[in-house]
Amino acid sequence: MKLMGSYSKTESLLLLGVVVFLSRLPFIFFGFGSEEDAWGLIVTARNIVTTGQYEVSRLPGHPLQEIFLTFTFDFSPWLLNLFTSFVSVIGILLFVSILRHFNIKNSLWAGIALAFTPVFFIHSTNIMDYNWALTFIMGAVFLAIKQRVVLAGLLIGLAVGFRITSGAMILPIAVLLYQLTEPELRFKGTLKFIGSSLIFSLVSFLPPLITYGVSFFTFYEYFPYPSILKNVFKGTIGVWGFPGFIGVIYVSLVTLHHIIKGRPSLIKNQRSFLIFCWITILLFMISFVRIPQKSAFIIPLLPWLYVIFFSYVTSRATKFLVFSMLISSFMFGINLNHPIRGNLPSSFSVNVNMGDIHMSLDPLIGPVAADIFKRVNKSEYAKNVSNKIQNSNHKIFLIAGWYQNEIVYFLGKDRSEKWRVVYYEDESVLSEFQLKNYRIQHLPEQDKFNDLRYKSEFTGKYSKLFVL
């Protein structure tokens, strides 16, 4: 605290930005990301350039990112990841600036807590859209509290163009803006913000709207709702890591104690900002419960949860939270044990099984390192699969599941009639290609998920395991 206090506000903000940016650099050199969607974005951008026709990487579309990547898809992965790191740093600096506007103490430490939250850290080193959208949201909130309502609406529109769920921010920002604006200007200013947000959001989504019509407005719901245990893991340890989640529990209990005891918020005369935070947290919690597929879906509520923490607890508790996040990103990970889409545990790990999923508590491998291992392992596997397909003398129809995008990427731009690499397919398609003398094969586990996707057991009737 004293070290940061020795700098001016501007100097300390710039120092924070430099430290956060430098902390990302060792982790940007390992492909586009561990998520199949990251590679799907690149494949889609390549397809758009090749065909001249817009297409979505996955419904309902992420048009601004997809179009941005059409200009940069052939850049080295590390350079595209570097863009995300830079954008993420801007988001952190905007977050701290917002907290300073409301005179929240220890705002720099709140920025550090967010920057080193494992799920935020991981997605600041790949090309995924989560942190891009959050940064535009931060900019919109910052401009809204400065009464620049049309520009705030523009940034919401840009955020929606990266992730459509960012549109949920229109409500809490409108509520905040209404309460912060002078009474005689409240209605007009709030209406201008809502109107500009809707207009710019619509403009952002013109590509999928023109291409697909209103049918673009849907989400993938291929599989049954995940188990409660998996959802709880994704929404807790999957977000904060093991030490970080302990820190969140501790600070949550301290915060709850102060609220129950009636302790006033440390934000002087800014009850409206706390209302904004609670509304935002509630909206994105509902969104996550509705579609709990990924821990990253929690990212939009993280800053505002930290605002609640830093508004009620003392510096001692916030220090503990920040320390737990710094440890959590790099140590004591609960990681998936899998040679292809996970990592091999160290000799110091302890097995932690979650149903039929084999995991380990590993003091030496935290979530960030585990994500890097996953990137490397999946990429090497996808390269090997693509090489075998290209060198095969047979026509191959491959059910690839979550490996599809990486394999298609490594197969290159040229499309051959000798192979088909699909996500999942129903029985009629498998039967059709069998009659065309294709060898129908599946990657490990994907026969089970293909049956699960179509709620029927038929894949084994047509498909054999693809063996390297």
Q: Which amino acid is at 108?
A: L
Assigned token pair, 371:
């994500």
Assigned token pair, 170:
């229109």
Tokens 């001249």, residue located: 52
Positive or negative, the CA dihedral 334, 337, 339, 341 is negative
Contact 193, 149 (CB under 8 A): yes
Q: Cα separations (Å) of 451 from 224, 252, 355?
A: 12, 42, 20
Residue 221 is classified by DSSP as -
* Dihedral of the alpha carbons of 174, 176, 180, 181, in degrees to the nearest 10: 0
Q: Which amino acid is at 158?
A: L
Query: What backbone torsions phi and psi does residue 293 show, to the nearest 5 degrees?
Result: -75, -30
Using CA atoms, how far apart are residues 141 and 107, in angstroms rounded to an integer?
A: 16
Regarding pTM above 0.75, the answer is yes
Using CA atoms, how far apart are residues 94 and 159, in angstroms rounded to an integer?
A: 15
Per-residue pLDDT of the chain (468 residues; tens, 9 = 90+): 444 556 788 899 999 999 999 999 999 999 999 999 999 999 999 999 999 999 999 889 899 999 999 999 999 999 999 999 999 999 999 999 999 999 888 899 999 999 999 999 999 999 999 999 999 999 999 999 999 999 999 999 999 999 999 999 999 999 999 999 888 888 999 999 999 999 999 999 999 999 998 877 776 656 677 788 888 999 999 999 999 999 999 999 999 988 888 776 666 557 899 999 999 999 999 999 988 889 999 999 999 999 999 988 877 888 999 999 999 999 999 998 888 888 888 888 898 877 677 889 999 999 999 999 999 999 999 999 999 999 999 999 999 999 999 999 999 877 778 999 999 999 999 999 999 999 999 999 999 999 999 999 999 999 999 998
